[in-house]
Amino acid sequence: MPTMTVLATTAVPDHVRGALTRWMIEPTPGLYVGTLSGRVRNELWAVVAASIGPGAAVLLHPEANEQGFAILTAGERRRTPIDFDGLALIAFRPRDEQAPPLGTAERNPLAAD
């Protein structure tokens, strides 16, 4: 039975976006919503996950569990779903320590001027 599916993407290749719009509507850039059968949803997700490139994607669909939905992710994201006794929770990975962009200086708010 077809069910509502939501797919959010970030920085995915254009051909992936084109494939998604064949099956779903795109109400805002990178957000796709549609009513898909389980088979179509799984096939579409396999294509997205295999060709994600440097981007990321999150798929939400109804599931027979306590929350009533399942979360699938592909690509590098700071937020990662984890299973906590049958509940999907979101864990934040720490940001990588990187140098500030050129032209900016980190200012210590406690330092005297």
Report the CATH number at residue 87: 3.30.70.240
pLDDT tens digit sequence for 62-82 = 999 999 999 999 998 888 899
| Phi, psi of 97, rounded to the nearest 5 degrees | -75, 110
Location of structure tokens 């009533």: 68
| Phi, psi of 14, rounded to the nearest 5 degrees | -60, -35
Checking if the pLDDT of 86 tops 90, the result is: no
The reply to whether 70 falls in a domain is yes
58-67, 82-91, 99-108: the lowest-pLDDT one: 99-108
pLDDT tens digit sequence for 92-106 = 887 764 444 444 444
The reply to whether 86 falls in a domain is yes
The reply to whether 97 falls in a domain is no
The reply to whether 35 falls in a domain is yes
Number of domains in the chain: 1
Looking at residues 53-60, what average pLDDT do you find?
A: 94
Domain span holding position 73: 3-92
The pLDDT value recorded for residue 110 is: 52
- Order of strands, sheet of 56-62, starting from the edge strand that comes earlier in the sequence: 25-28, 31-36, 3-10, 56-62, 69-75
Q: Work out the mean pLDDT of the chain and round it to a whole number.
A: 86
Cβ distance 21 to 9 under 8 Å?
no
